[in-house]
Amino acid sequence: MSDADTDAMTEAVAELIAILDLERLETDLFRGQNPKTGWRRVFGGQVVAQALVAATRTVPADRLVHSLHAYFLLPGDPRIPIVYEVERLRDGQSFTTRRVKAIQNGRAIFATTVSFQIVEDGFTHLPTMPPVAGPEGLPGGREIAAEAGLALPEAIAAYFARPRPIELRPVDLRRYRGGEPREPVFNVWLRAAAALPDDPALHRAVLAYASDMTLLDVSLIPHGRSVFDPQVQAASLDHALWFHGPVKADGWLLYAQDSPAAAGARGFARGQIFDRDGVLVASVAQEGLIRPRLD
């Protein structure tokens, strides 16, 4: 990776940290800014992460998020800020619950319920990480776009080449070549592209941001398509995320994804996120629109 690429990715991470530093307008009212990306709509992972930050700022520091359940209601407009309204549902001895509504132009574009818990010990069992290649020997970013013989479609090459706050290294890129139907499984290593401050809440917010990347696309693998296909209309509809343990979002994490079902123009996908030592740190589930365009 060139020094220019490293600088661009560091700048992208700094911008992500900045957009997650919400402005407090009132006790339970916050405002979030959007990055200047040129996108036609706000990235769903950004709204998930900003809503999580808003909820976190109304909760005692000794409680960390353990789950969130969200619905994407309307596309977000990247040209205007997003207001986050937090409702305090419960403040218990062990658990705290918040509901967050994201608002633009007086309308809710997103809603989520977030649950926090004090740190506790208890029964533990965890799955084994899939046996895949480690991130060190895999191409990423511009290497993917430039590597000879990959024959990636232009939109996919541009996606991986663009400087971003989350570095992605797919274990297997064959699904993007040729368009043949394959088993609905996709493994990708990811991490923040630069070091993050030592703040557990921020690391969880960054992982929430990253959890919306690549997941819905898995539901199109059995059909030989992807969300980059101009003949496919794709959008996240809901999103659920569970945290099982400590998270270091600036260290390599394996996002193991699969899609057990698609029906009714909707695709369902699941993800398990493991740290570099093979410990499961989070689980994700999502349903999204995957509608063939008829025009």
212 is catalytic: yes
**Encoding tokens for residue 136?**
């060190």
| Residue that is written with structure tokens 């989070």 in the block | 282
Catalytic residue among 212, 217, 229, 258: 212
Closest to 36 measured CA to CA, from 103, 81, 83, 102: 81
CA distances (Å), origin 23, targets 114, 159, 292: 20, 30, 39
* 199 a catalytic residue: no
236 included as an active-site residue: yes
Of 115, 236, 259, 272, which is the active-site residue?
A: 236
Token pair 């994700």 in the structure block, residue: 284
Question: At 285, phi and psi to the nearest 5?
Answer: -140, 145
Catalytic machinery residues:
212, 236, 286
